Amino acid sequence: MTTQEVANQWAQMCREGKNLDCITELYADNVVSKEMPGVPYGEIVSGKQEVFEKSKQWLENVVEFHSSEISDPVVADNHFTSKMAFDVTFEDRGRQQMEEVCVFEVKEGKITNEQFFYTM
């Protein structure tokens, strides 16, 4: 798949709430995921299974999604970016509104790096 195809598939799956399926299908085995400093599950996570578990923990902490928005991806060569916005209630910290910019790198049709930028 091209970077544009991966980006479109990623956005569609995330909009459908298929975040874990997205990791299984679109991520490389050696993917690296970077979060902002201070997140409870680690700032840098390496490997598809570890990234899957990090995302699963985040989703299991969600009590309710009140709204969510995934922007159309913007592609530049082998990178793409998207803005995600959520209004979500977490089990351990209550209701929060969140916005983040996500940047992804694609090699050989798989996501190899992801990084999320947001205010803690």
What is the arithmetic mean of pLDDT over 79-102?
95
Q: Model confidence at 81, in pLDDT bands (50, 70, 90)?
A: very high
Q: In the chain, how many H helices and how many E strands?
A: 3, 7
d(CA 110, CA 120): 29
Integer angstrom CA distances of residue 102 from 31, 63, 105:
15, 23, 10
In DSSP terms, 81 is beta-bridged to 74, 103
What is the arithmetic mean of pLDDT over 98-119?
96
* Tally of residues, the chain: 120
Percent pLDDT > 70 in the chain is 98
Q: Where are the domains of the chain?
A: 3-117
Nearest Cα neighbor of 72 from 15, 3, 1 is 15
| Assigned CATH for 3-117 | 3.10.450.50
d(CA 56, CA 50): 10
Give residue-wise pLDDT tens across range 22-64. Answer: 999 999 999 999 999 888 767 899 999 999 999 999 899 999 9
